[in-house]
Amino acid sequence: MRLLVTGSRGQLGKALARVAAERGHVFFGYDLPDLDITDAAAVMSAIDEARPDAVINCAAFTAVDAAENEGARALAVNGTAVAGLAAAADAVGAVLVQISTDYVFDGTARRPYREDDPVNPQSVYGRTKLAGERAAAAARHHLVARTAWLFGEGGNFVDAIRRQIEAGAANVRVVSDQRGCPTYAEDLAGAVLRLVESGVEGTVHAVNAGDASWAELAQEIIRRLGVDVTVIPITTAEAARPAPRPAHAVLDTSRLRALLGDGLRPWQEAVGDYLGRNG
C-alpha cells in the first residue's frame, strides 16, 4: 500500500513512518517547510505525484491555548486545508484519513463518548478540528480517527514530567480534575494502519485502554521511573490556561475493538514502553 502522510515530523507522523516500514508499505512523508497543507495547489501536486492509496493527515495547529487568539490560522490548518486534501484524495481515488481529537466533545458526559454522540467543542481548537472532520467527510472515501492525550517521539506530557524530575524537582503540580485517555503514538499508528488496510471508513475512536487524570498519569510516570517525587493535584481553574478543556473526555473504543478484533493495550503499559525506549 502507498501511504502519503502530512505532518510527518510530528509524534504520530514519525510513528507512522516506522510502523508503515514494518508492515511493508511505501511511505511518502511531508511536513513544513516542504509542504504547507493550506496551499491547495501544492497539496494536489504532491498527492498527484505520489498516487497514494491513503492520505493520512497528521498536520495540525495543536497549540490549544494559542488557538484562542489565532483562530483564523488554526481554522486554515485544521479545517479549511482538509477540504483541499479531500479534493486531492478524490482525484487519485485515495482514502483520506483525518486525525481528530477528544476536544470535539464538551466533556460533560459521565460515560465514555461514542462516535455518534453529539459534538459540542468548547475551545477554538476543538471547533477547528470539528471543521476538519466535516471537511474530511466530503471525501468519497474517508476515515476520521479521534484520539487523545498523545505521547511519542517529540514534545509531550510524559517528557515534560520527566524533565522536571531530571531537573531535581521534589514535587510536580498537575491538574487532577480532567480525565482522558493517554495514547501512545506507536500504538495509535498501528491501529490507524490496520483500519486503513481493512478498508474501514467513517469515524473511529482510537486510544489506549483505560482512562486517567493528568495527575494519575504523572503518578504512573513517577512510579515507572522509580523516583521519590510527589504529585500535588491542582484544579483546572488553578492551572489558569486560556483555552477551556473538556473535563471528562474519555473515548469509547467499542467500535475499534469490533473492527480490529482487539483494542489498544492499557495506557500504563504503553507509558512503560515509551519510557523504556526513550530513557
Identify the residue whose cell numbers are 491501529.
Answer: 191
Looking at the whole model, is its pTM more than 0.95? Answer: yes
Region at 154 (left for phi over 0; alpha for psi -120 to 50; beta for the rest): left
Record the cell numbers describing residue 66, joined without a space: 494559542
| Domains delineated in the chain | 2-155+182-208+252-265 (3.40.50.720)
Q: What is the mean pLDDT of residues 162-177?
A: 97
Element (H, E) at 99: strand 95-101
- Are the C-beta atoms of 153 and 278 separated by less than 8 Å? yes
Band (pLDDT 50/70/90 cuts) for residue 200 is: very high
Give percent above pLDDT 70 in the chain: 100
- Are the C-beta atoms of 99 and 58 separated by less than 8 Å? yes
Pairing, β 2-6 against β 26-30:
parallel
Q: What is the mean pLDDT of residues 187-193?
A: 98
Helices (H), 29-179: 40-50, 64-67, 71-75, 81-92, 124-136, 157-166
For residue 234, the cross-strand partners are: 175
The model's pLDDT over 203-253, given as tens digits with 9 standing for 90+, comes to 999 999 999 999 999 999 999 999 999 999 999 999 999 999 999 999 999
Residue 125: active-site member: yes
Which one is catalytic: 30, 103, 113, 125? 125
The model's pLDDT over 225-239, given as tens digits with 9 standing for 90+, comes to 999 999 999 999 999
Closest by CA to 104, choosing from 89, 84, 122, 86, is 122
Q: How far apart are CA 264 and CA 183, in angstroms?
A: 9
pLDDT exceeds cutoff 90 at 278 = no
Q: What are phi and psi of 231, to 5 degrees?
A: -90, 125
Q: What is the mean pLDDT of residues 179-197?
A: 98
Element (H, E) at 187: helix 185-197
Band (pLDDT 50/70/90 cuts) for residue 61 is: very high
Q: What is the mean pLDDT of residues 49-73?
A: 98
The model's pLDDT over 69-86, given as tens digits with 9 standing for 90+, comes to 999 999 999 999 999 999
Q: What is the mean pLDDT of residues 33-55?
A: 98
Q: How far apart are CA 138 and CA 85, in angstroms?
A: 10
pLDDT exceeds cutoff 70 at 279 = no
Q: What are phi and psi of 157, to 5 degrees?
A: -60, -40
Element (H, E) at 179: strand 179-180
Mean pLDDT (the chain, rounded): 97
